[in-house]
Amino acid sequence: MTEDTSYTPPRVWTWEAESGGRFAKINRPVAGATHEKILPIGKHPLQLYSLATPNGVKVTIMLEELLAAGHSGAEYDAHLISIDGEQFGSGFVAINPNSKIPAMMDHSTADPTRIFESGAILLYLADKFDAFIPRDPSARAECLSWVFWQMGATPYLGGGFGHFYAYAPQKYEYPINRYTMEVKRQLDVLNQHLADKPFMCGDDYTIADMMIWPWYGGLVLYNLYQAAEFLDTPSYTHVNRWANEIQARPTVKRGEMVNKTWGPPEGQLHERHDASDFELRTQDKIEDAQKA
């Protein structure tokens, strides 16, 4: 790869043209809604507006885990938000002024509660249902340390490595090397940490695992960004062991399907409004019904 060194930053940056890359048409340097759109509200108190990216999958896994653990109050409607511009609709921006999925409304509170940012949503649900987060202050601190590690670390994986390795209009050696080094360091952090414990916080499966798995589990299991060989992900044996064990949970398999619009149709549940939707409303069944 050859570095382009011809660019000199101006004294004051101005937005003059699209920067290129896969998401160029929706990138912009200002916030706020671009159009009016009222969001739908389903029958359950918890209303999720999302897409099955790693950040969205964190929340649907948590909700499915809560339901499997017997917390009936965690029943939810999951509405699909396509990130080709729907995230800039007025209804969604009212819930998340940062215009990123996922976002959630809890209508069980006296005044409906909005929650945005995936980490905030999982912590809110863990506290609301007293589940998947330790009660002991020291154990809770360990769990939250890994939750916030994920929130701080993953932008280097997604916005850094993923962008320059997979989505940027040209390949540049310096940023790819820079972010590859950091992602491999993060994988080594996880690999060393998981060498002597089954889950991120010890013996108990917690929101820390649900936060970290969609990103780093996806990296080693699903060839995220088509970069498994480049990153030598099989060499992180403890991360792979942990990722495979979590992937085998039925709750995780269901959570991965919700708001998913790619891959095999039988693995896509575009919207989830009832537990029976996993049997009755997957995309293959919808397509078969349309053909009939």
pLDDT at 54 (0 to 100): 97
Instruction: Output the pTM of the full model.
Output: 0.94
pLDDT at 95 (0 to 100): 98
Element (H, E) at 120: helix 118-129
The domain limits of the chain are 137-252
131-176 per-position pLDDT tens digit: 999 999 999 999 999 999 999 999 999 999 999 999 999 999 999 9
| Average of per-residue pLDDT values in the chain | 95
Residue 177 has pLDDT above 80, yes or no: yes
Secondary structure of 239-278 in HEC code, one letter for each residue: HHHHHHHHHCCHHHHHHHHECCCCCCHHHCECCECCCCHH
pLDDT at 26 (0 to 100): 77
pLDDT at 161 (0 to 100): 97
pLDDT at 4 (0 to 100): 56
Taking CB atoms within 8 Å and a gap of at least 24, the contacts of 196-199 are: 198/242, 198/245, 199/242
Q: Is the separation of the CB atoms in 164 and 172 below 8 Å?
A: yes
113-119: average pLDDT = 98
Share of the chain above pLDDT 70, in %: 95
pLDDT at 5 (0 to 100): 65
pLDDT at 42 (0 to 100): 98
pLDDT at 292 (0 to 100): 82
Residue 6 has pLDDT above 90, yes or no: no
Confidence of residue 3 (pLDDT cuts 50, 70, 90): low
Residue 13 has pLDDT above 70, yes or no: yes
Confidence of residue 18 (pLDDT cuts 50, 70, 90): low
pLDDT at 15 (0 to 100): 85
Smallest CA-to-CA distance from 251 within 107, 101, 115, 131 is with 131
Residue 2 has pLDDT above 60, yes or no: no
182-196: average pLDDT = 98
Share of the chain above pLDDT 90, in %: 89
Q: Which of 22-36, 126-140, 203-217, 221-235 has the lowest mean pLDDT?
A: 22-36
Element (H, E) at 77: strand 76-80
Q: Where is pLDDT greater, at 14 or 234? A: 234
51-62: average pLDDT = 98
CATH topology of domain 137-252: Glutathione S-transferase Yfyf (Class Pi); Chain A, domain 2 (1.20.1050)
